[in-house]
Amino acid sequence: TQLLEQSPQFLSIQEGENLTVYCNSSSVFSSLQWYRQEPGEGPVLLVTVVTGGEVKKLKRLTFQFGDARKDSSLHITAAQPGDTGLYLCAGTLSGYSTLTFGKGTMLLVSP
Partner 1 sequence: ETGVTQTPRHLVMGMTNKKSLKCEQHLGHNAMYWYKQSAKKPLELMFVYSLEERVENNSVPSRFSPECPNSSHLFLHLHTLQPEDSALYLCASSQEPASGGFFSTQYFGPGTRLTVL
Residue 23 binds to partner 1 (criterion: CB under 8 A): no
Binders in 65-94 for partner 1, by CB under 8 A: 88, 90, 92
Question: Whose CA is closest to 26, among 74, 59, 66?
Answer: 66
Binding-site member from 1, 59, 82, 95 for partner 1 (CB under 8 A)? 95
Cβ distance to partner 1 smaller for residue 43 or 66: 43
Please report the sign of the dihedral spanned by the C-alpha atoms of residue 36, residue 38, residue 40, residue 44.
Answer: negative
Residue 40 binds to partner 1 (criterion: CB under 8 A): yes
How near is the Cβ of 100 to partner 1 at its closest, in Å? 8
Please report the sign of the dihedral spanned by the C-alpha atoms of residue 6, residue 57, residue 108, residue 33.
Answer: negative
Name the DSSP class of 84: -
How near is the Cβ of 47 to partner 1 at its closest, in Å? 10
